[in-house]
Chain A
Amino acid sequence: MKQNKAYMAVIHTIFILLTLSFLLPFIIIVIVSISPESQITTYGFQLIPQKIDFTAYGLVLKNAGVLFKSIIWTLFISATAPALAVMVNALMAYPLARNDYSLRKPVNVLMIVSMMFSGGLIPTYIIYTQVYHLGGANPMLYWLSSLFSVWNVILFRTFFKGIPAELIESATIDGATQPQVLFHVVAPLSKSIVSIQYFTSVIARWNDYQTSLIYYPNNQEYWTVQYYMQTILQSVQQLKASLEMQGLRDTSEAPVTTLKYAMCVISIIPVFIMFPYVQKFFSKGIAVGSVKG
C-alpha cells in the first residue's frame, strides 16, 4: 500500500510538471503583451511585469485595420467552410454505411486510392492556379481546398454504421424516402459527430496559414489571421509598414514586441473559447474512438 502511494506521487508529480509546461507559455504570452515595451528592451521577456501596460492593446484597437480585416475574413471562412465540408462529407459517408447501396465497393476503393496517391504540392498548385484559375484574385480556394476529407468521411461512415438498421428499416416501411430517412432519422442521431467535425474544422480553418502563404501571398485582402501573424513575426518591417499604412507616422517608437504578442493573444482567443467544447468530445473518445473503419 505504501509503495502504491509513492508510485502515485511520482505519477502526479510528472503530470503536474507537464501541465505547467503546457500552460506556462500561454501565460507568458499574455504577460509579455501587457508589459511595458521598455522593460522588454532592457531586460528581455520576463515572467513578472513591472507594471501593467495596455499600450499595445490600445494600438491594436486604434490602428488595427489589417489585423481586424484579417480577423473578420478568417472568422467568415472559419464559420462557413466547415459547414459546407461537413455536409459534403456526411452525404458522401451515409450511402457507404448502407448495405443496399450497390456502388459501395468502387467508391471505397476510390477513396483508399486517393489516400495513397496524390499530386503533391507543385502539381496541385499548377492545376489549381493555371487550369482552374483559382488563387490570387479568386478566394474560392479557402472553401474548396478543405471541402472534402477521406478521413472525416471514414469517421462519419463508422458512426452511421453504428445506427441500428431496424430504425432505418422501420422508417422505410412507413414509406420514408431515402433523403427523408437521412434528414429525419439519421441526422438527429448524429448531432455529436456533426458538431465535433464542425468545431474541429473551425479551429483548423482559424489556424490555417498555408492557404494564404501558397495561394494568396500577394493579396493582403485575403490573408488569414495566422498568415498575417506570421508575416509580422518574421519581419518587423512588415509590422511597421502596416502601422504606417494606418497613419502612424513615427514607427521608431512603436512598441513592436508587445504589439506582436498582443495580436498573438487576440488571435488565440477564439481557439480558447471553442477549446473546452471540442475537448469534451475528444475526451469522450467520440472523435478518436472509432478510428478504424
Chain B
Amino acid sequence: MTNSQKQKNKSLQWLKNVPYFLMQVPGLLWLVLFHFVPIFGLVIAFKDYKYANGIFGSAWNGLDNFKTFFSANYAFRIFRNTIGYNLIWMLLVNLFLGMLIAIMLYEVRNKIANKIYQTSMLIPYFVSYVIIAYIGFLFLSHDNGLLNQLIKSFGGKEIYWYYEPKVWPYILTFFDAWKNIGMASLYYYAALLAIDPCLFESASLDGAGRLRQIWYISVPELMPMASVVLISKVGGVLGGGMDIFYQLPMNSSKVYETTETIATYLFRGLASGSISTSAAVGFFQSVIGVILLLITNRIIRKISPENAMF
C-alpha cells in the first residue's frame, strides 16, 4: 500500500466519526451550556453580587462571603444536619435496610405474595414529595392529625409537631425510609437474582441453614452492589436534595434547628436575595463533595478494584 493510500484510509476512518459526532452534538452542547458554563458562575462566591451589576460588574470581595457564613451562629447546625441526616440515611436505608429487605424478599418464593410486597414498596418512591407532605400532615396536623388524636385518646397532651424541633429527626428519618426503601432494596434484589442458585443448593446439601446461607453467600455477593450504591450516594452526603427537608415540615421556620440543611439554606438564600453568601456555601459544599467522592473511590479501589468508578 502506498503512503497516499494509507493516508486516504486514515481519513476514511476519521470520516466514520462524523455521523457519531453529530449524534452527540445536542448532548455535548447541553453539557457545555447548561452544566459547565454555570460552573464559572461560582466566581460570585468571591464577589459582592448585585443583580444590577451582573457577574462581571460586581465587585470582588475576597473571602468575605465565607467569613460572613462561618461566623453566623447557624453555620454549625446546617452542617450538622446535612451530614448527620444524609450519612445516617445512607447507612441505615440505602445499605442496611435495603439489603435486609432484599434478602427477606428473596426468601418469599410465593410469586403472588412476592409481587404484592415488592410493588407496594415502590409506590411511595414514585409519589412526589409534595404528596409526602400531605401524608405527613394527615398524621401531624395539630388540630386534626391522627397522631394527636391517638395521644389524646390515651389521655396525653397534644404535641405541636410543626413547632417542635426535637421530634423532626425521627419524623424525617421515618419518612425517608418509608419513601426510599422500595428502590433501595430493589438494587440488592436484582443482585440477588443474579446469584447462581447452585451456590445455595450446594450449601444446603452441606447442611447450611437459611440464615447461614444468607450470611455466607447472599451478604458477600451483595457487597459489589453495596459499593456501587455507596459511591453513588457519598457525593450527596454534603449535598442531598432539599425535597424532604423543605416539603415535609412545610417550610416551618420553628423547626429549622433540626430541619435546615445546606440545600434548604441555599434555596432560602436565593429566595431572600443573599446570593453571594449562598454561593460561597455552595462552593465550599462542592469542594468537600469532590474530596469525599475521591476518597471513597480510592478506598473502594483498594478493597475491590473492579467496582471503583474511575
Q: Which of B54, B127, B210 contacts A268 (CB 8 A)?
A: B127
Nearest Cβ in chain A — how far from B215, in angstroms? Answer: 14
Does residue B154 face the partner (Cβ distance < 8 Å to A)? Answer: no
Does residue B228 face the partner (Cβ distance < 8 Å to A)? Answer: yes
Does residue A54 face the partner (Cβ distance < 8 Å to B)? Answer: no
Do A88 and B30 form a contact, CB below 8 Å, given A15-B104, A128-B38?
A: yes
Residues from chain A with Cβ under 8 Å of B120 in the complex: 18-19, 22-23
Does residue B272 face the partner (Cβ distance < 8 Å to A)? Answer: no
Nearest Cβ in chain A — how far from B24, in angstroms? Answer: 5
Does residue B83 face the partner (Cβ distance < 8 Å to A)? Answer: no
Cross-chain contact A91 with B30 (CB below 8 angstroms): no
Residues from chain A with Cβ under 8 Å of B133 in the complex: 230, 233
Q: Which of A8-28 contact B (CB under 8 A)?
A: 8, 11-12, 14-15, 18-19, 21-23, 25-26, 28
Write the chain A residue with the least CB distance to B283. A120
Residues from chain A with Cβ under 8 Å of B13 in the complex: 102
**In whole angstroms, what is the CA distance A240 to B276 when docked?**
36
Residues from chain B with Cβ under 8 Å of A127 in the complex: 37-38, 40-41
Do A178 and B143 form a contact, CB below 8 Å, given A15-B117, A110-B31, A111-B31?
A: no
Q: Which of A22, A206, A209 contacts B123 (CB 8 A)?
A: A22
Nearest Cβ in chain A — how far from B107, in angstroms? Answer: 6
Cross-chain contact A11 with B108 (CB below 8 angstroms): yes
Cross-chain contact A271 with B27 (CB below 8 angstroms): no
Does residue B173 face the partner (Cβ distance < 8 Å to A)? Answer: no
**In whole angstroms, what is the CA distance A207 to B137 when docked?**
18
Write the chain B residue with the least CB distance to A116. B290
Q: Which of A72-104 contact B (CB under 8 A)?
A: 87-89, 91-92, 94-95, 98, 100-103
Q: What number of A residues sit within 8 Å (CB to CB) of B?
A: 98
Does residue A153 face the partner (Cβ distance < 8 Å to B)? Answer: yes
Nearest Cβ in chain B — how far from A78, in angstroms? Answer: 12
Nearest Cβ in chain B — how far from A38, in angstroms? Answer: 12
Do A44 and B148 form a contact, CB below 8 Å, given A18-B121, A124-B38, A127-B37?
A: yes
Cross-chain contact B190 with A177 (CB below 8 angstroms): no
Does residue B35 face the partner (Cβ distance < 8 Å to A)? Answer: yes
By DSSP majority rule, is chain A's interface helix, strand, loop, or mixed? helix
Q: Which of A12, A103, A217, A229 contacts B20 (CB 8 A)?
A: A103
Residues from chain B with Cβ under 8 Å of A8 in the complex: 107-108
**In whole angstroms, what is the CA distance A179 to B190 when docked?**
34
Residues from chain A with Cβ under 8 Å of B33 in the complex: 132
Cross-chain contact A29 with B138 (CB below 8 angstroms): yes
Does residue A147 face the partner (Cβ distance < 8 Å to B)? Answer: yes
Cross-chain contact A126 with B44 (CB below 8 angstroms): yes
Cross-chain contact A285 with B190 (CB below 8 angstroms): yes
Cross-chain contact B269 with A122 (CB below 8 angstroms): yes
**In whole angstroms, what is the CA distance A118 to B30 when docked?**
13
Cross-chain contact B39 with A123 (CB below 8 angstroms): yes
Residues from chain B with Cβ under 8 Å of A229 in the complex: 130-131, 134
Interface centre among A22, A111, A278 (most CB of B within 10 A): A22
Ranked nearest first, the 10 interchain pairs of A and B with the lowest CB-CB distance are A123-B41, A92-B27, A207-B128, A119-B38, A120-B282, A95-B20, A44-B144, A178-B19, A285-B190, A91-B23
What are some 26 contacts across the A-B interface (CB < 8 A)? A7-B107, A7-B210, A11-B104, A11-B107, A11-B108, A15-B117, A19-B116, A25-B135, A44-B144, A44-B145, A45-B146, A101-B20, A107-B24, A116-B290, A117-B290, A118-B39, A119-B38, A119-B39, A122-B275, A127-B40, A147-B34, A178-B20, A203-B126, A213-B267, A230-B247, A260-B134
